């Protein structure tokens, strides 16, 4: 039997004309029903070759799996707060939540226990929302390219940053949550081209993140435009020398 | 007449010989035989076919009343299965056949898909990497954890040696209270959670639970060896008895009397 299994697995790996899709738990039915056996007989039923012809009634594993309820014992980014009952896909729940003990099964006993114990987390200790820390993580990784005009004079305002973030599909709802450096940056100044500075974004008025921005001069004329390729891979050169340490730590954390 | 015939047939009935009812297997204790019957002789739950309900049905064409007989689909149990949690799944050998009248039947094996993952036992407090089928996962999740699943499922449905070994270890840990030796609060908590499963087993049954036939024979041999060592020859016992008897008897006192007294018939005793 084992030899058979091995040969079968080999057949599956090789590009064979017999392609079997997800051979898992299925429900079968005999095409030819077995003749009636003697009542209460202790002998094995008499089976002929034709009784081994099966038709597949149902592939129960091909069905969409129903969600499963679990109770979180810790805050999980993008899933829920501590003590919250969430409904997630079974494989995700098993591998990502139950095995590392971030959650327990929502059995009747556990539900009663949880009501007494784990709902007592204070609101101040909680993150502002389920996805807030995920957003913070994402913002930490991003390097924002701030494109400014090459010909017209300007000084950077919060809305410039908001628009640059919008180009990266990060929608900042109000300009109050964007915090610019204390010294103003104004231009057009080609000595600042490709140099970085740091701004702070506050998520849900609670989590504050430092985000790296790279200045770029952009022209309406195609022939006047400067190259802006792979700006996020280059070594950061700060506009303000006091920000160099912070810039380096941000890049280092993103790499690891 | 018929009832008498039936009685006669009953007298003729000789139960089939099995591994545990004949030969050396017959010497195994009742506790192991109970487990072996549960494992090998009971029919497992139907999972590959839908059993028909009720006692009688009508034939679709003729309308004649016929009894319902659910004849299970024969399963094959490969050796590799014993190192995983298959949740009752097995290999089916059979044929596929197209729809047409002249289509030939083609041999086919229906085998479960195996996943290499990790399972966690709360009683043993251990992570173990094994192969598990999707049905195995579903059953673990439905019964809220591996320990609950193993403890409440009978041996014929667990089937694989690995699961039976795990169940044996869990039962032993609960019986002897050897779980969480460092943390007594946690130990009591976990013990209370699972102790109601212990009601189904006696002390001796757990001792013999989850052993394969060969392992049970080895265990029996060990017990025999120990009792062999304890056996003493009868002469040792008899000698001890004799010495005690001699100590209690008053022959020694008689020896102290002088022989002259014996000769004198008028002397007082």
Let me know whether B168 and B149 are in one domain: yes
Determine which helix (DSSP H) or strand (DSSP E) holds B65, and give its type and residue range.
strand B65-67
- In this prediction, residue A1 carries a pLDDT of 52
Let me know whether B73 and B110 are in one domain: yes
For chain A, list the domains and their CATH numbers: 2-59 (no CATH), 68-120 (3.40.5.10), 132-255 (3.10.430.100)
Token representation of residue B205:
């049954």
> Which chain B residues are within 8 Å of A94, Cβ to Cβ?
137, 140-141
- In this prediction, residue B143 carries a pLDDT of 93
- In this prediction, residue A17 carries a pLDDT of 41
Q: Tell whether B51 is within 8 A of chain A (Cβ).
A: no
- Alpha helical stretches, state H, A37-195: 90-92, 108-116, 132-141, 158-167
- The mean pLDDT of B70-85, rounded to a whole number, is 93
Scan for tokens 């946690």, then name that residue.
Answer: B186
CA-to-CA distance for A123 and A82, rounded, in angstroms?
11
- In this prediction, residue A121 carries a pLDDT of 67
A249 contacts A236 by C-beta, under 8 angstroms: no
B135 contacts B159 by C-beta, under 8 angstroms: no
- The mean pLDDT of B162-179, rounded to a whole number, is 95
- Residue B12 within any structural domain of the chain: no
Are the beta carbons of A1 and B110 separated by less than 8 Å? no
B143 contacts B135 by C-beta, under 8 angstroms: no
CA-to-CA distance for A202 and A177, rounded, in angstroms?
5
Least CB–CB distance from B141: residue in A2, A42, A68: A68
The pTM for the full model equals: 0.79
Let me know whether B132 and B210 are in one domain: yes
CA of B104 to nearest chain A CA: how many angstroms apart? 11
Let me know whether B101 and B221 are in one domain: yes
CA-to-CA distance for B215 and B205, rounded, in angstroms?
15
- Residue B11 within any structural domain of the chain: no
Let me know whether B150 and B256 are in one domain: no
- In this prediction, residue A6 carries a pLDDT of 55
Burial of A182 (C-beta count, 10 Å sphere; 0-12/13-18/19+)? exposed
Are the beta carbons of B73 and A1 separated by less than 8 Å? no
Percentage of the residues of chain B whose pLDDT score is greater than 90? 75
User: What phi, psi does B153 have (nearest 5°)?
Assistant: -95, 140
User: Angle at which helices A132-141 and A244-255 pack, to 10 degrees?
Assistant: 110
Are the beta carbons of A5 and B91 separated by less than 8 Å? yes
Q: HSE (CB half, 13 Å, CA atoms) of A249? A: 7
- In this prediction, residue A7 carries a pLDDT of 53
- Residue B41 within any structural domain of the chain: yes
Does ipTM come in above 0.85? no
Strand A207-218 with A143-149, pairing:
parallel
Determine which helix (DSSP H) or strand (DSSP E) holds B57, and give its type and residue range.
strand B56-58
Which residues, in sequence order, are bridge partners of residue A149? A218
Are the beta carbons of B141 and A90 separated by less than 8 Å? yes
pLDDT of B15 higher than 90: no
> Which chain B residues are within 8 Å of A34, Cβ to Cβ?
69, 71
- Residue B211 within any structural domain of the chain: yes
Number of domains in chain B: 2
What is the pLDDT confidence band of residue B7, given thresholds at 50, 70 and 90? confident
CA-to-CA distance for B51 and B70, rounded, in angstroms?
6
Mean pLDDT computed over every residue of chain B? 90
Name the stretches of chain A with pLDDT < 50: 10-23
Are the beta carbons of B94 and A54 separated by less than 8 Å? yes
Q: Give the closest residue to A214 by CA, choosing from A226, A222, A204.
A: A226
- The mean pLDDT of B21-48, rounded to a whole number, is 93
- Residue B53 within any structural domain of the chain: no
- The mean pLDDT of B3-15, rounded to a whole number, is 82
For chain A, strand residue ranges (E) read 26-30, 54-59, 68-72, 85-88, 103-105, 143-149, 154-155, 178-179, 186-187, 196-203, 207-218
Q: What is the dihedral of CA B190, B192, B194, B196, to 10 degrees?
A: 170
Tell me the residue length of chain B.
269
B36 contacts B154 by C-beta, under 8 angstroms: no
Cis-peptide into A188, omega within 30 deg: yes
User: What phi, psi does B45 have (nearest 5°)?
Assistant: -60, 140
CA of A28 to nearest chain B CA: how many angstroms apart? 5
pLDDT of B141 higher than 90: yes
In chain B, how many H helices and how many E strands?
Answer: 12, 7
Interface of A with B (CB under 8 A): 1-2, 4-5, 8, 22-31, 34, 36-37, 39, 42, 45, 47, 49, 52-54, 57, 61, 68, 90-91, 93-95, 98-99, 105, 107, 109-110
Least CB–CB distance from A61: residue in B69, B80, B134: B134
Let me know whether B245 and B175 are in one domain: no
Let me know whether B150 and B35 are in one domain: yes
CA-to-CA distance for A174 and A202, rounded, in angstroms?
10
Are the beta carbons of B71 and A22 separated by less than 8 Å? no
DSSP B132-172: EEHHHHHHHHHTTSHHHHHHHS-HHHH-SHHHHHHHHHHHH
Let me know whether B80 and B153 are in one domain: yes
- Residue B218 within any structural domain of the chain: yes
- Residue B52 within any structural domain of the chain: no
B211 contacts B168 by C-beta, under 8 angstroms: yes
Let me know whether B127 and B81 are in one domain: yes
Determine which helix (DSSP H) or strand (DSSP E) holds B85, and give its type and residue range.
strand B84-85
Tens digit of each residue's pLDDT (9 = 90 or more) over B171-199 = 999 999 999 999 999 999 999 999 999 99
3-class DSSP state for residue B268?
A: coil
Let me know whether B196 and B85 are in one domain: yes
Are the beta carbons of B47 and A37 separated by less than 8 Å? no
- In this prediction, residue B268 carries a pLDDT of 63
Tell me which residues of chain B, numbers 116 to 145, contact chain A at a CB-CB cutoff of 8 Å.
117-118, 120, 127, 133-135, 137-138, 140-141, 144-145
Q: Give the closest residue to B150 by CA, choosing from B142, B158, B162.
A: B158
> Which chain B residues are within 8 Å of A105, Cβ to Cβ?
141, 144-145
Are the beta carbons of A57 and B50 separated by less than 8 Å? yes
Are the beta carbons of A94 and B141 separated by less than 8 Å? yes
Token representation of residue A73:
């014992």
User: What phi, psi does B159 have (nearest 5°)?
Assistant: 65, -50
pLDDT of B251 higher than 80: no
CA of A1 to nearest chain B CA: how many angstroms apart? 6
> Which chain A residues are within 8 Å of B137, Cβ to Cβ?
90-91, 94
- Residue B29 within any structural domain of the chain: yes
SS3 content of chain A, % helix, strand, coil (to 5): 30, 25, 45
Q: Tell whether B109 is within 8 A of chain A (Cβ).
A: yes
CA of B29 to nearest chain A CA: how many angstroms apart? 26
Let me know whether B155 and B235 are in one domain: no
Segments forming the whole domain that contains residue B247? 230-263
Q: What is the dihedral of CA B40, B42, B46, B47, to 10 degrees?
A: -30
CA of B237 to nearest chain A CA: how many angstroms apart? 53
pLDDT of B258 higher than 80: no
Let me know whether B249 and B217 are in one domain: no
């Amino acid at each position: 039997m084992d030899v058979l299994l091995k040969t079968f697995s080999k057949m599956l790996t090789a590009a064979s004309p017999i392609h079997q899709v997800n051979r898992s738990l299925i429900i079968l039915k005999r095409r030819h029903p077995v003749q009636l056996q003697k009542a209460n007989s202790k002998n094995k039923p008499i089976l002929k070759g034709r009784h081994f012809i099966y038709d597949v009634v149902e592939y129960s594993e091909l069905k969409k799996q129903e969600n499963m309820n679990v109770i979180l014992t810790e805050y999980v980014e993008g899933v829920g707060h501590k003590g919250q009952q969430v409904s997630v896909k079974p494989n995700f729940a098993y591998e990502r939540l139950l095995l590392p003990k971030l959650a327990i099964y929502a059995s009747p006993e556990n539900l009663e226990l949880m009501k007494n114990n784990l709902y007592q987390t204070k609101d101040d200790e909680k993150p502002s929302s389920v996805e807030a820390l995920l957003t913070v993580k994402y913002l930490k990784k991003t390097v924002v390219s701030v494109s400014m005009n090459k010909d017209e004079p300007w000084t950077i305002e919060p809305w410039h940053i908001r628009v640059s973030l919008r180009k990266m599909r990060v929608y900042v709802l109000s300009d109050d949550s964007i915090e610019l450096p204390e010294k103003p940056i104004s231009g057009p100044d080609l000595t600042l081209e490709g140099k970085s500075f740091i701004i702070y974004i506050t998520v849900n008025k609670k989590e504050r993140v430092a985000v790296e921005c790279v200045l770029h001069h952009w022209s309406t004329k195609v022939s006047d435009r400067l190259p802006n390729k792979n700006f996020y891979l280059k070594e950061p050169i700060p506009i303000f020398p006091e920000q160099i340490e912070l810039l380096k730590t941000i890049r280092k954390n993103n790499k690891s | 007449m018929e009832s008498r015939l039936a009685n006669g047939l009953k007298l003729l009935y000789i139960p089939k010989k099995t591994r545990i009812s004949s030969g050396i297997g017959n010497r195994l204790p009742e506790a192991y035989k109970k487990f072996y019957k549960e494992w090998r002789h009971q029919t497992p739950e139907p999972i590959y076919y839908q059993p028909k309900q009720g006692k009688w049905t009508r034939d679709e064409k003729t309308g004649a009343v016929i009894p319902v007989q659910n004849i299970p689909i024969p399963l094959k149990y490969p050796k590799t299965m014993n190192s995983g949690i298959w949740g009752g799944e097995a290999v089916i050998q059979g044929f596929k056949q197209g729809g047409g009248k002249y289509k030939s039947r083609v041999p086919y094996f229906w085998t479960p898909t195996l996943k290499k993952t990790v399972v966690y036992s709360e009683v043993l407090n251990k992570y173990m990497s094994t192969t598990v089928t999707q049905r195995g996962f579903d059953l673990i999740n439905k019964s809220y954890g591996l320990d609950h699943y193993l403890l409440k499922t009978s041996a014929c449905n667990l089937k694989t040696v690995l699961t039976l070994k795990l169940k044996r270890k869990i039962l032993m840990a609960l019986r002897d209270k050897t779980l969480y030796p460092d943390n007594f609060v946690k130990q009591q908590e976990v013990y209370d959670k699972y102790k109601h499963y212990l009601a189904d087993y006696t002390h001796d049954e757990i001792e013999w639970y989850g052993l394969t036939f060969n392992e049970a024979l080895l265990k029996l041999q060990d017990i025999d060896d120990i009792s062999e060592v304890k056996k003493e020859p009868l002469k040792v016992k008899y000698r001890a008895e004799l010495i005690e008897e001699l100590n209690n008897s008053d022959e020694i006192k008689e020896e102290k009397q002088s022989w002259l007294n014996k000769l004198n018939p008028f002397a007082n005793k």
